[in-house]
Structure 1
Amino acid sequence: MISATFLDTLKYLYFTRPYNTMKLGLFRIENLLSRMGNPHSGVKYFHVTGSNGKGSVTTFLEYLTYHHGHNVTGFYSPHLSTILERFHYNTQNISQEEFVEAAFEVKKHAEEMDKLGEEFSPSFFEYMTAMYFYITKKKNAEYGSVEVGLGGRFDSTNVIIPEISVICTVSLEHTNVLGNTVEQIAFEKAGIIKEKKPVVVGLMADSALEVIRQIAKQKNSKVYEYGKDFYVEPVQFSFNENVYDYYGDTTIKGIKVRLNGKHQLYNVGLALKAFEVTHRINEKAVKKAFEEAFIPGRFEMVNGVVLDGSHNPQAAEKFAENLDLYFPGKRRASVFGIVDDKDKEGVLKVIAPKFDLLIVTKPPSKRAEKVAETYEIAKRYNSNVILEPDYIKAVNLLKETDADVKFVTGSFYLVGYVRDYLLNGKISEELTIGGA
């Protein structure tokens, strides 16, 4: 049951702190936290950035910390079906009441800053970050597992001094903010490296890696590189029960991982290395952590439907790879919807041929008006395409098909709403606030 106070708090956040407004720089978050008594201090953090994989690595680190007997919070973005997914305590979402309390605490100080002018008014993400630190302090958490929102250097999470930083991958993304080359983007992400604090680095272009090495050298930070200092080998790929062997300072064989996809191999390695550098590892706890670690809507089966986002060509490639990996030779049907400012052609040419039936729909977003355009593009790559703009009707149509495996993919807006519908038979009032 959603409380009225929780909904009112969400309305305040979405309409007073515009959701998609980005503000670079750390002076606002530093000012806000200072007014709050610096709740981020006195906690040990894992700080994770990357073009891909940062959500999985942050999740794995949270579960590893929890299963090694520590109180830990997790901070994630964006959320899928509820804003509570952004704030974890010991691997679980916080409650509506805890969310409201944290929002109210931050509000007092944020509104004082609002009076100083637009430049000083905290953004939505800065507000979320301050709430996370308040929750962490309130819970007396010993550890925090923190996912960077965007980039690294000027991200509002970059006020922490972590035990260790992780840079998963570097590729061209958010070029209007982070730069037009992988070297520039690597520079921004390397901004989370702190003086004499180690950094774990994933596979990436040599030019990007060299930028990170140079910054780490300036900061006197030891660098641990995937493939050089540690690596992971796959043993078995099976839906929801993948098995890997880890080779670092310790060797751990037969690690079962619930999260699906070949790319998780690297994320498992990055998380384990970061944990290994800062902790004495318990093999039993490691195996329990990876077996339980979970992220909603990431190649997840919900009531007989597999949910996953394919919102850009890179994600589409991984999705298509997973189709062939986990469901070879199966008859597949999918609902697909994507917002208008994404590369529809780039996504559909990869995934549309993979389905025996594709049902094109409109994601629940103001940014998804051109569903007929999506339908026309889909028909170029699949001869069996149906247009059903109503996503609820599209899902019900999908359920009636005789396909062996059924999917919903494309926009995360679509995946989030459909997940809510499949679990509860209706769309939560929370999701309808403010629109997408």
Structure 2
Amino acid sequence: MTHVLVVGKKFSALADYLVAHEYTYTVLQDRQATKFPDKRFKHRVVADFSSLESLFATVDTLQTTPNLVLATYENYILPAAHIAAHLGLPGIPATAAEACTDKFLMRSLFAQAPEKISPDFAIVRTEDDLRAFAANHTFPLILKPANLAKSLLVTKSNSLDELLANYHIATRLLNSTYAKYAPNRTPSLIVEEFLAGSVHSVDAFVDGTGTPHILDAVVDYQTGYDIGYDDNFHYSRLLPSALSTKDQTALRRCADIGIRALGMKHTPAHVEIIMTADGPRIVEIGARNGGYRERMHRLANGIDITGAALQTAAGGIPTVASSYTYSCAVLELFPHSEGSFVGITHLEELQQLPSLNYLSIKTQPGDTVGKASGGHKAVAVIILSHENPAQFAADKHFVDTHCAIQTEG
């Protein structure tokens, strides 16, 4: 029986999948990010992730030897790469894993690709770095952490004064945000060109030769800016894509170039791309399945994303062909500004929508909620799916126009 070592943390659907498909598994959790680390739980081993020596020492004492290593969260891609190499198992090379979790390194490798596939950028250590970059580029500009996920602390600035103000806010929040969401990463900021265009993602699985097996289905995004928010979060992820066949082909080709530029192997690849007037430009590539993709591609395309990730981690060739094309959307709800959470407007009607597949409210009334750019995560996640495009469109329109986060204070 195949034993899977899940590095960092798991999500419940992954555990259910592994049990249903007759895998055994151990979750190797980070002591620094674990509540009650000294309690004993089935399938869980707690380790010190602060050094490879301590991490390997724990791995070497596992009761069951792993057959494959899997990481599903950004913070644990690099430790998983080191563990796979330590065990002599297929895994993403550590150099590629590091590049996939640090946008400065990633952009540096993209710059060596045979054609332009990403925006101009610079590391930011001082105000002078920002001033120098701004002097040679056109506003708006994007300021973001080099190695955080979920749009945390990402801001868009339309002037130098705004850029400097956002820099001071980011530096004030940087250490606390990293401590909460990426305790083993070194805080870092980059500034880059703003890419005007529609936002999309392409998902792939990279085999042991470095060949990407790219899904046909391209995911379309709406950002917070697209729906009138002053915040750069992903409001919706949508299948199937509304892009032309030509543009979808261009996105997949760009993803292929980017994956090869990073030297990825034995790993999923989640590629976020903006379709600009000058062609596709990569925002980032993650060495993991994209957020919510297990549900999205199962509902919309009949693709087993978790199975493909396991096939890839085991050194095999993944199965990524679509069986059908239905409509699916994942919607993340944020408030317009920070305040105390009150509720979601038209919640009862939302719960009765024929397309509703999943609803999760992530916080309790009275809790403080706010913008992604202020270090907050989504208040609620809604997944809609339906085989009838008209029903799906009507239900998504209802959410778009009626469902919002209510706050006070």
**TM-score, normalised relative to structure 2:** 0.26
Q: In proportion to residue count, which structure has more strand? A: 2
**TM-score, normalised relative to structure 1:** 0.25
